[in-house]
Every structure is written in structure tokens, then in C-alpha cells.
Structure 1
Amino acid sequence: MKEYLVKENIYIRYQDFAREELPILFIHGLGCASSFDYPEVVNQESLRNHRCILVDLLGAGYSDKPLDFDYSVNSHAKYLNKFIKDLGIEKLILFGHSLGGAIAIQLASICDNVIQIILSESNLDTSRVGSCSYTISSFLEKDFINEGFKEIIIKSRKDKNTMCAGTLSNWLPIAAYKLSKNAVIGRNPSWRKILYELSIFKSFIFGENSLPDNDYQILQENGIHIEVVENAGHSMAWENPKGLVYAIAKTYLVDFNTADKIKKLASDNAEGTVT
């Protein structure tokens, strides 16, 4: 594992599987950590030649957990943009899961180095009732920090969702709360609108168990390539890592090495000529 200085005495930590083909930066969702979710994914055959960078966001996993950071989607995207530049990465693919997808969308909108985005059941609009972020944000801040955080972990264990309980327990409670609040409030323009306006190749992955979903058709109508991971739901990296890799392999542009070619493919896809 490596570390990167975000600002004075504050580091994110990441794994860098240094390989020759186009880099893919993995951004995890709320309550997760890339160091936990994706090592098995990136070591599957289809991704084994790609440089894969698994970053734990501030407040999560092995990264630092400063109390004075605002933990908004935009703030995460800003330090990740600088991280990409400082690593000297000229072109890369972004992969974002759940609320990490919103961060990936925001990052793609400010980072010229991004040539493709792959979203895994990403937040596109404000959080819905029943989602983890909506549940967290329904607490008062002090109540969540003092009681709610532990309550959600205990409930996850009782519901036999022990993987979620294990990763969430390594979050700073205020980090989970502030990011959740941001998800419920959303932004203007929405992450959905930003995604639609990105002039890069765009893909969205659903877990089979999450369907039907209205966005399956809506996203296709807006020029976004769709894949489905069989025998999995929202936590597809845990539930079917091989299936997730198969879906990613059907979306990433392994044969395209210039931004011009990728933009051409994105344009063709928007016109409905790419399947």
C-alpha cells in the first residue's frame, strides 16, 4: 500500500497495481473501501494487464480521517484530481460505485485526463428513502455520531450483512454523515445532468438483483452503455467479483489508445450505433 499527501499531515492510502495498459482508478461507495472491495476484482484475468489504482477515500478504510474535512462529493473529487495529476497519469478510466460514482462523475467533469467512466449503480440524483445515505442523514449529527453509527453497524450484523458492517466500522462517523447529507441534498446541476453532458465514453453497470430499474432504459436513451452482473445486487464486487470483471471487460476500451478515437466511439454510442 502507498500513501499520498492531500494536505499537511493528511494522507490518502491506495494500492497501485502497476501494469502496462490504460490505468483504471477505482472509487468506492459509502461505507466501503477500495482496499477491501476490489483486490479480487482487479486480479481477474480480464483486468490483469491494466494498471489498477484502488484508493480509500479520506474518512474511510486505511486513509486518514481528519475531523475538519467537509467530506462532500466535490471536495473528494478535488483532491483526487490533484492525486491523478501528481501521479503523472495522462489518460485513465474512472470506475465509481454507488456514492463513489457521484464522486467519479464530479471528478470526470474537472479532470481532462479522464477518457472513460464506468459507473456501478451510481448515485445520479438525490438519495432516495430506504438508501443507506438517506437513513444516515435522517439522524441529527450529534445523535448519529453518539448512537446512530453504532446502531447501523449492529443492525447490519443482525441482518447478516457482516461485510457491510466490517467496512463501515472503519469509517469516521462524521465522514459518513457529511457525505450522506451531501447525497440527500444533491447538487445543481445534478450528477445525472453532469454525466449526460460528459463528452467521454460512459457505461453503467447494474446488478441483476437490483432490476427492474427505470434508469435501465433512461440511461440507454441518453447514450450510456449498459451492462448487468448476474447473481448480484448493489454490492456486486463482493457478491460476484468475476461477474463484475466480465461486465467491466465488456465496457472498457482496451483497443483504443487515443482520446480522439474514444470520443468518436462515445459519439457513435450516443447515436445508438454501438452495442
Structure 2
Amino acid sequence: MHSAAVTTEGDRIRWVELPGRDPARVYVHGLGATSPAYFTETAVHPLLAGHRSLLVDLLGHGHSDRPTAFAYTLEDHADALAAALRAARVTAAEVVAHSMGGSVAVVLAARHPELVSRLVLVDANLDPLTPEPGALGSRGIAAYGEEEFVAGGWREVRDRAGELWWSTMRLAGREALHRSAVHLVRGTTPTMREMLLHLAVPRTFLYPETDGPFPGAEAMEAAGVRVVPVPDCGHNIMLDNPEGFARATAEALA
């Protein structure tokens, strides 16, 4: 376990690090998740093993600190992640990022281009969404006011989340979880999709084949983003089909 202070108040991001060769690979989890739980199996898969690998927990999540004074915008998450990577002496990393982590990774690459040499986005959020009471995921969490969520709304989210997601969501700070969801749903200006289209690094977008054609895939391909369906999985591709995920990721990073 490694850590670095990433705010002026000294709040620390923590990560599990696997030794290996450069370029380093940085794995970033989604909302309410934690990278060691979601990525360890595939980070050590024979197709992906051998690189220095940092399984990073974003601020407010997993093993990292949970400051209540932090805004948890996508830009804030990206800047905090950048501070951790600089402290770890990482440059030109191959970033593999899931869901909200993919949104953060796009912002990271746009704001701190020297830190990212390749992007593999795993069913990442690219567009703003509309909060919806009772919905699963960020839209449902963002439908609460912060005080309402912290005071007890989180219990309703827990009951909808299911055992797998709650096993890591329960580690997240409640303010962190709510603010991260609100800002993920709100998105960025320009949008994450627009930023992605204009990045200069090699980019791959993995999505579940069962979702059907990915919206906007044609424009993404035209901009140089490889859009790759992965069979036999849902949103958590690396957990549902570790072999298919490792194969697609290794091909993206070849």
C-alpha cells in the first residue's frame, strides 16, 4: 500500500502497487468502487502482468481519505489523481479506467497530458445524465439533496445497490459518494465525450456487447477511438468476463 497527500489539507490518496516495467499502468475504479477489488484479478492476468501497476482509490473511496471539504467534481478528482501520480513519479501512464473512473481519466488526460500515454475506457460515462429518483447508479444518488442523502437516503441506495456494489460502496464517504454522483451526472464543459474525441493519445472504449451498438460509436471511430464490444458481460466487464476483458485490454495496449 502506497499513499500521497493530494490536497492542501493533507488528504491522502492510496493505491496498491504491483512491481514491473514501465510504462506504468494506472487502474481507476468507478463510483462507489475500489480499484484493488475490481482490477487485481485482471492486472495480474498473464496477458497484462509484468508492468508496474497502480490500483488507485480515488479520494473519498476505498482506502483513500474521505474529506468532507472536498468538492468531488470530475476536475477535482482528476487533479487529485494527477498529484498522486506525480508523487509516485509516474509519467506517460497507460490508464485503464471504469465507469466514473473513465470520466476522471478523460479529464486527467485533457488537463495533465504528460501523465497519460494511452487510455482504455471501460464502459465509461461520456455524457451528462438526468437525475432520477429510484434509479440505479449515479442518477439515483444524484436525485437526493446532500443533507437528505447523508441523513438516510444512502440506506435506500444501499438496498437498491445489491451485495456486490454495496461491499465497496459502504467504504466511500457519504458526502464523497453523493457529490461524486452529482458531478458525474452533471458532466463537464466541454463534455467528456467531446474531450475524448480531441485527445491525441491512443484511445479504446470497451463496452458490453449485449448493450447493442454503442451510441456515437461512428463519430468516435472517425476521431480515432477504437470502440470494442466485449461478450458475456454487463457493466462490470472486468468482473463478469475477466478473460475477455484482459484480452481486449491487452490488445488496446499492444
Q: Report the TM range for the smaller structure's normalisation.
A: over 0.9
Unaligned runs of 5+ in 2: none
CA distance in 2, matches of 1:185, 1:195: 17
Q: 1:139 aligns with which of 122, 135, 144?
A: 144
Q: Cα distance, 1:194 vs. partner?
A: 0.9
Match of 2:233 in 1: 232
Q: Cα distance, 1:176 vs. partner?
A: 1.1
Q: Cα distance, 1:167 vs. partner?
A: 1.1
Q: 1:127 aligns with which of 118, 124, 129?
A: 129
CA distance in 2, matches of 1:59, 1:89: 22
Match of 1:217 in 2: 218
Contact 1:210 1:234 in 2 (8 A): no
Match of 2:5 in 1: 5
TM-score normalised by structure 2 residue count: 0.92
Q: Cα distance, 1:217 vs. partner?
A: 3.2
Kindly provide the amino acid, as one letter, of the partner of residue 5 in structure 1: A
Q: Cα distance, 1:232 vs. partner?
A: 0.3
| Residue 115 of structure 2 corresponds to residue 113 of structure 1 | yes
TM-score normalised by structure 1 residue count: 0.86
Q: Cα distance, 1:127 vs. partner?
A: 2.2
CA distance in 1, matches of 2:200, 2:214: 25
Match of 1:39 in 2: 40
1:1-275 paired onto structure 2 within 5 Å: 1-7=1-7, 8-111=9-112, 112-128=114-130, 130=135, 132-156=137-161, 161-253=162-254
Q: CA RMSD in A?
A: 1.5
Q: Cα distance, 1:222 vs. partner?
A: 2.6
Unaligned runs of 5+ in 1: 254-275
CA distance in 2, matches of 1:213, 1:131: 20
CA distance in 2, matches of 1:168, 1:69: 18
User: Which one has the largest radius of gyration?
Assistant: 1
Q: Cα distance, 1:211 vs. partner?
A: 2.4
Q: 1:180 to 1:250 in 2, by over 3 A?
A: same
Instruction: Tell me the secondary structure at the aligned position of residue 22 of structure 1.
Output: strand
Q: Cα distance, 1:110 vs. partner?
A: 1.9
How many matched pairs? Answer: 249
Kindly provide the amino acid, as one letter, of the partner of residue 74 in structure 1: E
